[in-house]
Amino acid sequence: MGQIAIRIIVDTVEKSTNNHIPSENTNPPFMVIMTLFFAKEKVSSGKDNNNESDGVSAYTKLVLTLGLLRMDHNDAIHMGDGSRMLRIDQFLVLYYKYCHCTKYAFGTLETIAQTEVLLTERQAHRLIWNRTVNHKGDANTNHPNDLDVEHCNKVFKDSAHSYRGVFY
């Protein structure tokens, strides 16, 4: 697997031109590596018990894959990288569907469909890049918009709580 990854990265670097606009480059190495990984590794639903001897290895691969995807997603959130969040969500939707988390899978698919097909180019750009908020103005200090709304609700509830009267 390591040799394949190195070869893909070298091929991608050799094929890149002087144009450094991300949208015009080929697939990022991470996406290609993960696609090859999923194509090489058999993803089973647990219903066929033909290969029970290597369950520990399969579980370890699953935990490492999910852990790395989650760490990459958290890093994308902190850096405010909307396109990377969307690419990672495309992988996570497979896990959501497999684990019967249909609401998460549907919500993620809806977001992907909106950015790819349903919205205009301007609205899709806003949806992709306005998913985080940064109050400090520093790098690596973004947090999701829904968390910001929860913080605003807490501040409002605390201030509204102080206006209630004293009941005897």
CB-based contacts of 30, cutoff 8 Å, min separation 6: 72
Residue-averaged pLDDT of the chain: 79
The predicted model scores a pTM of 0.61
**116 within 8 A of 108, measured Cβ to Cβ:** no
Tens place of pLDDT per residue across the chain (168 aa)? 455 555 655 555 455 444 445 545 455 555 666 666 666 665 555 555 555 568 888 888 888 998 999 999 999 999 999 999 999 999 999 888 888 999 999 999 999 999 999 999 999 999 999 999 998 988 889 999 989 999 999 998 888 887 776 666
Take residue 37 and report the two structure tokens written for it: 């990984």
**88 within 8 A of 72, measured Cβ to Cβ:** yes
* Residue 28: strand pairing partners: none
DSSP string, 49-95: -TT-TTHHHHHHHHHHHHHHHHHHHHHHHHHT-HHHHHHHHHHHHHH
CB-based contacts of 116, cutoff 8 Å, min separation 6: 124
